[in-house]
Amino acid sequence: MTGITLQRIQDAASAFIKDSPLNTIAELDSLQLFDAPLIAAADAYDPLFTKLKENEVVGPQHRMPQEWLEGAKSVISYFLPLTKRVREANRKPGVAAREWMYGRYEGEQFNNSLSNYLVAFLENAGIKAVVPVMDPRFSVVNRRSNWSERHIAFIAGLGTFSLNRSLITARGSAGRIGSIIVDAAIDATERQYTEFDEHCTKCGACILRCPPFAINEQGKDNAVCSDYLGRVLARYRPRYGCGKCQTAVPCEACIPHVQGNTLSINR
C-alpha cells in the first residue's frame, strides 16, 4: 500500500476542481462554482463518532465508519467553498439566485464527481474507500440520515455549527461538504475548537435573512426550512435552494471574530 498523506489528497482534489469542466456553468457566462477545497481527516475510532449515536439531533441510526467499511481507519472530510460570484448573487433578498441554485444542484453533482475521482485516486494507491452518501446503504428517514456530513466535518476539525445549523469553516459556511471513509491511517487533523458552536457569535444576522422565518435565537426549525425548499423546488425544478442564511452574513466566507462590540468581516 502506497503511503497517502492528506496533502496529496488535497493536491488531487484541488487539481480536479481547477481542471474539471463540471465546475463551470457555460450557460451562466462560464460561472465557476467552487474554489479550492478545505480537507481534513479524522481517526475512524474517534470517540465522537460513538457520541453521534447518543446525540438527540443525530441519533442511533447514525452508522460508525466501520459499519460502512470493514477495517476503516480514517475519515476524510472536505468543504467546497462556493465562489465569490455565486455568493454575491445570493446576497439579494428574495428567492435564491439562479447562480446559487446551480451551485446547489449542479454543485452537488460536481461534489459526487469529486468523491468518485478521489475514490479512484485512493484505490489506485491500494486503499479501499467508501463514500457513505453514495452507498446503497445510505438513508434519510424523517429528515435524519445515517451519515451526517456536517457532523463528520466537525469531528475532522473543519469547523463548528452556527445558529442556522450550517458549518462555519475557515472559508465560511457557503459551500458543499463531502466525506470518504478509508482503510488507511491518515494523520488526524487537530480540532482547533472544543464547543460545537464555537465559531458562531450569535449575531442573529441569519435570523433576519431567512425567507420562511425558520431561524430564531434557539436555532433552526428544519421542518419549516424543508417545506420552503420544497416550494422552491416545485417552482424551479430540477434546481432549488435558498442559502440566504449563508450569504450576506458575517460567516459567509470566513470565521467571524468579535472585536469589542464591532463584528469584523473578512470576505
Beta carbons of 182 and 127 less than 8 angstroms apart: yes
In the chain, the N- to C-terminal Cα span, in Å, equals: 41
Nearest-CA neighbor of 182 among 63, 44, 37, 83? 44
**Average pLDDT over the chain, rounded to an integer:** 93
Q: What is the pLDDT of residue 263?
A: 33
Residue 266 has pLDDT above 80, yes or no: no
Cα-based torsion angle of the residue sequence 239, 240, 246, 249 in order, rounded to the nearest 10 degrees: 100
Beta carbons of 25 and 100 less than 8 angstroms apart: no
pLDDT in tens, 145-201: 999 999 999 999 999 999 999 999 999 999 999 999 999 999 999 999 999 999 999
Residue 16 has pLDDT above 60, yes or no: yes
Q: What is the pLDDT of residue 262?
A: 32
Q: What is the pLDDT of residue 142?
A: 85
Beta carbons of 215 and 207 less than 8 angstroms apart: yes
Q: What is residue 265's three-state secondary structure?
A: coil
As a whole number of angstroms, the distance between CA 244 and CA 235 comes to 18
Set of cell numbers at residue 187:
494523520
Set of cell numbers at residue 236:
424551479
Number of H helices and number of E strands within the chain? 8, 14
Residue 242, number of CB atoms within 10 A of its CB: 22
Q: What is the pLDDT of residue 84?
A: 98
Q: What are phi and psi of 192, to 5 degrees?
A: -95, 30
Percent of the chain at pLDDT > 90 equals: 90
What distances in angstroms separate CA 90 from CA 87, 185, 218, one per listed residue?
Answer: 5, 40, 25
Beta carbons of 129 and 182 less than 8 angstroms apart: yes
Q: What is the pLDDT of residue 2?
A: 56
Residue 120 has pLDDT above 80, yes or no: yes
Q: What is the mean pLDDT of residues 18-38?
A: 97
Beta carbons of 177 and 261 less than 8 angstroms apart: no
Between residues 2 and 9, the one the model is more confident about: 9
Confidence of residue 258 (pLDDT cuts 50, 70, 90): very low
What does the DSSP assignment read for 207-231? HHH-TT--EETTEE-HHHHHHHHHH
Residue 261 has pLDDT above 60, yes or no: no
As a whole number of angstroms, the distance between CA 87 and CA 80 comes to 13
Q: What is the mean pLDDT of residues 191-217?
A: 96
Domain positions in the chain are 6-264
As a whole number of angstroms, the distance between CA 145 and CA 148 comes to 6
pLDDT in tens, 135-146: 999 999 988 899
Q: What is the mean pLDDT of residues 254-264?
A: 54
* Neighbour-count burial of 67, counting CB atoms closer than 10 A to its CB (0-12 exposed, 13-18 middle, 19+ buried): middle
pLDDT in tens, 42-99: 999 999 999 999 887 799 999 999 999 999 999 999 999 999 999 999 999 999 999 9
